[in-house]
């Protein structure tokens, strides 16, 4: 297959880790007979420095014509003083909005040779493999009005959703469950919130279309608890924007290696933006010591969710697991069972394993 990928390295370690993922994508293309054309554009602080805006029109235009986008990270202390409309983070929010990327996917899966660093007992977290799907463009974070009243002594935020916005994310979740273990947990607060009652109705309607997927409803407080006490019970979890924000951060620490986690923000036609969960790590930028695995695993998600290349995605994930089993560890990881190695050595090991 021919695919066109836009690279947005951004700031801090972004350039180094995207470069690592590019090496892995090239290796996959060679191994499996695909052609990936890759084109780099500016975003975040890098774009502020070069073009005076965190999201230049040329970047938006290129992303609109792409099959998928790979992002490193944006932001850093260098841009602390810039005006609000030129904050590096505006570039990322802006591109998600411009492309209508409404579904945020965060797989949480521990790597056997790193599980001893989990805050949970290894026996509790072992074998856990969860995909959290968060609605990204609606709900409390975007509702109007959101304001102060009565001389600042009263506040209002609005949790608003359209039926279509709920339907598309719930559909995405059922489809993702189908590609996995066919179990979907829908998380809401239907005992209190009207928005959650509509959400639950839609899940009930939709499940007629996916009779092969087992569905369970869970209140968000119970879901937060069960993620800690019995993470193994979950396959795919789907929820609205704010609940998803909180649960995905909770879930991301379960494996004990935040720096390893990938994420995807996608829309219905498969176009997506892929990035590691961690930030731009300005404290270690340019030193060749950044952990590239979160970005490499994000590239695997790209192959799976935007290109439908499941075999290729699984091959990258296996190569990463083997690299950790072989003892390669960047400095951010718990070094028990391995030794500290640099970005390029880790990348080479992944490519070699592929």
Nearer to ligand ATP, 281 or 354 (CB): 281
CB atoms within 10 A of CB 85: 8
Select the residue interacting with ligand ATP from 279, 334, 337, 342 (CB under 6 A): 279
Q: Which residues pair with 103 in a beta bridge?
A: 135, 266
Note if 189 is an active site residue: yes
The 10 Å CB-count burial string (b at 16+, else e) for 25-54 is: bebbbeeeebebebeebbbbbbbbeeeebb
What is the C-alpha to C-alpha distance for residues 284 and 291, in angstroms, rounded to an integer?
A: 10
75 binds ligand ATP (CB under 6 A): yes
What is the C-alpha to C-alpha distance for residues 243 and 187, in angstroms, rounded to an integer?
A: 8
Classify 248 as helix, strand or coil: helix
> Binding partner of residue 189 among ligand ATP, Mg ion, none, CB under 5 to 8 Å per kind?
none
283 binds ligand ATP (CB under 6 A): yes
Select the residue interacting with ligand ATP from 59, 186, 195, 330 (CB under 6 A): 330
Q: Which parts of 23-52 interact with ligand ATP (CB under 6 A)?
A: none
What is the C-alpha to C-alpha distance for residues 225 and 17, in angstroms, rounded to an integer?
A: 34
Q: Which residues pair with 147 in a beta bridge?
A: 156
Question: Which one of 26, 49, 50, 249 is the catalytic residue?
Answer: 249
Site map (CB under 6 A) of ligand ATP, residues 223-262, x = contact: ------------------------------------x---
Query: Which helix (H) or strand (E) covers residue 233, if one does?
Result: none
Nearer to ligand ATP, 73 or 173 (CB): 73
What is the C-alpha to C-alpha distance for residues 244 and 134, in angstroms, rounded to an integer?
A: 5
In the bound state, the residue with its beta carbon closest to Mg ion is 279
Note if 161 is an active site residue: no
Nearer to ligand ATP, 44 or 186 (CB): 44
For the CB of residue 248, give the shortest distance to ligand ATP in the complex, in Å. Answer: 13
Stretch of residues binding Mg ion (CB under 5 A), selected from 46-54, 247-255, 274-282, 330-338: 274-282
Site size for Mg ion, by CB under 5 A?
Answer: 1
Question: Can you state the angle between helices 220-229 and 241-252, rounded to 10 degrees?
Answer: 10
For the CB of residue 171, give the shortest distance to ligand ATP in the complex, in Å. Answer: 30
Note if 221 is an active site residue: yes
Question: What would the two tokens of residue 211 be?
Answer: 């009779």
Q: Which residues are annotated as a binding site?
A: 76-89, 96, 106, 134, 221, 245, 249, 279-291
Alpha helices in 100-216 (DSSP H): 122-125, 163-178, 194-206
Question: Which one of 189, 206, 210, 332 is the catalytic residue?
Answer: 189
> Binding partner of residue 291 among ligand ATP, Mg ion, none, CB under 5 to 8 Å per kind?
ligand ATP
Residue 254 makes CB contacts below 8 A (sequence gap 6+) with 108, 110, 118, 119, 120, 125, 128, 227, 228, 231
Q: Which parts of 80-99 interact with ligand ATP (CB under 6 A)?
A: none
Question: What would the two tokens of residue 338 be?
Answer: 């391995």
Positions in the binding site for ligand ATP (CB under 6 A)? 13, 73, 75, 259, 278-281, 283-284, 290-291, 294, 330, 332
Residues involved in catalysis: 141, 189, 221, 245, 249
């Amino acid at each position: 297959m021919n695919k066109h990928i836009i690279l947005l390295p951004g700031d801090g370690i972004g350039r180094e880790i995207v470069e690592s993922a590019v090496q892995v994508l090239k290796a996959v293309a060679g191994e499996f007979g695909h052609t990936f054309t890759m084109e780099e554009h500016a975003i975040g602080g890098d774009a502020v420095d070069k073009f005076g805006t965190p999201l230049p029109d040329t970047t938006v235009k290129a992303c609109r014509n792409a099959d998928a986008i790979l992002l490193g990270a944006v932001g850093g202390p260098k841009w602390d003083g810039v005006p609000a409309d030129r904050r590096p983070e505006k570039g990322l929010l802006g591109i998600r909005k411009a492309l209508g990327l409404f579904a945020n996917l965060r797989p949480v899966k521990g790597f056997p040779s790193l599980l001893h660093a989990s805050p949970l007992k290894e026996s509790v977290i072992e074998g856990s493999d969860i995909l959290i799907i968060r609605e990204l463009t609606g709900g409390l974070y975007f509702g109007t009005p959101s304001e102060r009243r009565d001389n600042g002594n009263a506040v209002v935020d609005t949790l608003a959703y359209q039926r279509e916005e709920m339907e598309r994310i719930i559909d995405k979740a059922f489809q993702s469950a189908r590609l996995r273990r066919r179990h979907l947990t829908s998380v809401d607060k239907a005992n209190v919130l009207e928005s959650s009652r509509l959400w639950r109705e839609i899940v009930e309607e939709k499940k007629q279309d996916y009779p092969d997927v087992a569905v369970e409803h869970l209140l968000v407080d119970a879901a937060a608890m069960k993620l800690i006490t019995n993470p193994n019970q979950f396959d795919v979890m789907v929820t609205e924007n704010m609940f998803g924000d909180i649960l995905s951060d909770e879930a991301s620490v379960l494996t004990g290696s935040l720096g390893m986690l990938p994420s995807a923000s996608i829309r219905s036609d498969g176009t997506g933006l892929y990035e590691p969960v961690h930030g731009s790590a300005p404290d270690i930028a340019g030193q060749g010591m950044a952990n590239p695995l979160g970005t490499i695993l994000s590239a695997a998600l790209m192959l799976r969710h935007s290109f439908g290349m499941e075999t290729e995605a699984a091959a990258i994930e296996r190569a990463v697991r083997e690299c950790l089993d072989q003892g390669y560890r960047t400095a951010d990881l718990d070094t028990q069972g391995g030794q500290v190695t640099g970005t390029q050595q880790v990348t080479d090991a992944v490519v070699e394993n592929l």
